Amino acid sequence: LSHGLEKLRAEPCITLDGHRVPLWVNTGLFADIARSLDRGAEGVGLYRTEVPFMIQDRFPSEKEQQATYREQLQAFHPLPVTMRTLDVGGDKALSYFPIKEDNPFLGWRGIRVTLDHPEIFLVQIRAMLKASEGLDNLRIMLPMISSVYEVEDALHLIHRAYSEVLDEGVKVPMPPVGVMIEVPAAVYQARELVQLVDFLSVGTNDLTQYLLAVDRNNPRVADLYHSLHPAVLQALQIVSRACREAGKPMSVCGEMAGDPAAAVLLLAMGCDMLSMNATNLPRVKWLLRQISLSDAQALLEVALQQDNAYLVQSILHLALRNMG
Ligand code: PEP
Ligand code: MG
């Protein structure tokens, strides 16, 4: 990390014309905590709770989960920490909970697993709520939502877990709950989904994979996997409009948010916060501090007229290079 970027740590992420865009981080491993704080993260936009599950050889108990979550919430306190409920299946396997399928990315993953196993979900939510007692910086986020009823069912379970911990004498407020938009169906349901929750967060890694029908981990089709594809940009526009109309915040927590050039477009779309790998945070902050919101909006307008991702990318890079 160069000295210039190091100095940026304590500076806010603010555009030349005074528009604030909080930069949050994605975490999972214990080591992510120090790296994130070191780079001036303003919150956690995605804590991947499956990570502590993956390094065990059995399901962690409610007490064990509570301790792990407490560590995370305490380390960032008073900054908000967005805990995503267990997102296994697809590319994320638990040795003690094997899932064998021909099409794992189209199969039993994310919220589908935990709604079929409410006992896993309830234990996790109770652990999160108990861990947040006295800190009150917890947010909860639901992965792989493709239908409104899944959110309704999950909210029902969250409220049940909440009243259970209150009965046990735990004093916590009801945390904000959000939905990840990472399945194309959820993009077209964004208006309905946002009514049910406090925020939406776009998972561009899976959304790109599903919109373009390109496996995010297959090197043979890696050239086809591009988050600047016009279809992805249009999808983001739909979500952003739904959030704006509902007066609720929209964030992006896929890798796209950590790409400085893409972050300029996300800023222009009206994203309320960007959540990324801590490594990318200083670069994104540096660039967003060099640009005005109106310049970003002009770039977005040009980008939306392109019909392929590589054109969008080269236009962005040229324009940003010209700006210095
Ligand atoms: C995403 O899909 O963009 C995302 C942030 O979740 P994950 O990478 O954990 O699937
Ligand atoms: Mg995902």
User: Ligand 1 pocket, 141 CB below 6 A?
Assistant: no
Measured by CA distance, the residue closest to atom 4 of ligand 1 is 203
Neighbours of 146 (CB within 10 A): 16
Listed in order, strand segments (DSSP E) in the chain are 23-27, 44-48, 81-84, 138-142, 177-181, 199-202, 250-252, 273-276
Query: Which amino acid residue places its CA nearest to atom 8 of ligand 1?
Result: 205
Ligand 1 atom with the smallest distance to the CA of 201 is: 5
DSSP 227-247: TTSHHHHHHHHHHHHHHHHHT
Question: pLDDT tens, position by position, for the chain (324 residues)?
Answer: 566 767 888 899 999 999 999 999 999 999 999 999 999 999 999 999 999 999 999 999 999 999 999 999 999 999 999 999 999 999 898 999 999 999 999 999 999 999 999 999 999 999 999 999 999 999 999 999 999 999 999 999 999 999 999 999 999 999 999 999 999 999 999 999 999 999 999 999 999 999 999 999 999 999 999 999 999 999 999 999 999 999 999 999 999 999 999 999 999 999 999 999 999 999 999 999 999 999 999 999 999 999 999 999 999 999 998 876
CA-nearest residue for atom 1, ligand 1, is: 203
The C-alpha atoms of residue 254 and residue 260 are separated, in whole angstroms, by: 13
- Helix/strand/coil for 225: coil
Q: Residue 169 to residues 14, 130, 163: CA-CA distances in angstroms?
A: 42, 10, 10
DSSP-derived 3-state class of residue 15: coil
ipTM: 0.99
Task: State whether the Cα torsion 100-155-70-169 is positive or negative.
Answer: negative
Q: Is this prediction's pTM over 0.90?
A: yes
